[in-house]
Amino acid sequence: MIFVIVVVAAICVAYANGANDNFKGVATLFGSGTTNYRRALAWATGTTALGSATALLLAGNLIKSFGGKGLIDDAVASQPAFAAAVALGAGLTVLIATRIGMPISTTHGLIGALIGTGLTAGSALNLGNLGTKFVIPLLLSPILAVVITVVVYPVLRYGRKRLGVTRDICLCAGKETLEVVSADCQAVALQRAEQLSTTMGTSVTCESRYQGKVLGISAGESLDKAHFLSSGVVSFARGLNDTPKIAALLLLAPAFGVASSLFLVGVVIAFGGILSARRVAETMSKEITTMNHGQGFTANVVTGLIVIGASRFGLPVSTTHVSCGSLFGIGAVSGGAKPKTIATILFAWVTTLPLAAAIGAISYLAVSALNV
Phi, psi for residue 53 in degrees, rounded to 5: -65, -40
Phi, psi for residue 205 in degrees, rounded to 5: -110, 160
pLDDT in tens, 219-236: 778 888 888 998 998 898
110 residue type, one letter: L
Residues 175 and 279 reside in one and the same domain:
no
d(Cα 351, Cα 138) in Å, to the nearest integer? Answer: 14
**What's the mean pLDDT when you consider all of the chain?**
83
Residues 225 and 172 reside in one and the same domain:
no
Residues 268 and 311 reside in one and the same domain:
yes
CA angle 135, 136, 142 (to 5 degrees): 100
- pLDDT(52) > 90: no
- pLDDT(160) > 90: no
Q: Is position 274 within any domain?
A: yes
Burial of 275 (0-12, 13-18, 19+ CB in 10 A): exposed
pLDDT of residue 223: 84
**Would you give the DSSP letter of residue 303?**
H
Residues 52 and 174 reside in one and the same domain:
no
Give DSSP secondary structure letters for 28-40.
HHHHTTSS-HHHH
Q: Is position 335 within any domain?
A: yes
d(Cα 111, Cα 352) in Å, to the nearest integer? Answer: 10
Phi, psi for residue 33 in degrees, rounded to 5: 80, 15
Q: Is position 10 within any domain?
A: yes
Alpha helices per DSSP H over 163-292: 186-200, 219-247, 258-276, 278-282
Residues 320 and 267 reside in one and the same domain:
yes
Q: Is position 246 within any domain?
A: yes
Over residues 141-159, the mean pLDDT reads 91
Residues 51 and 69 reside in one and the same domain:
yes
Strand extents, DSSP E, 139-216: 166-173, 176-182, 205-211, 213-214
Which of residues 211, 243, 278 is at a domain's end? 211
pLDDT in tens, 311-357: 677 676 788 889 999 999 999 998 889 999 999 999 999 999 999 99
Residues 278 and 358 reside in one and the same domain:
yes
Residues 176 and 137 reside in one and the same domain:
no
- Which pLDDT band holds residue 273 (cuts at 50, 70, 90)? very high
pTM attached to this predicted model? 0.80
Residue ranges making up the domain that contains 74? 2-160+221-370
Total domains present in the chain: 2
Residues 349 and 238 reside in one and the same domain:
yes
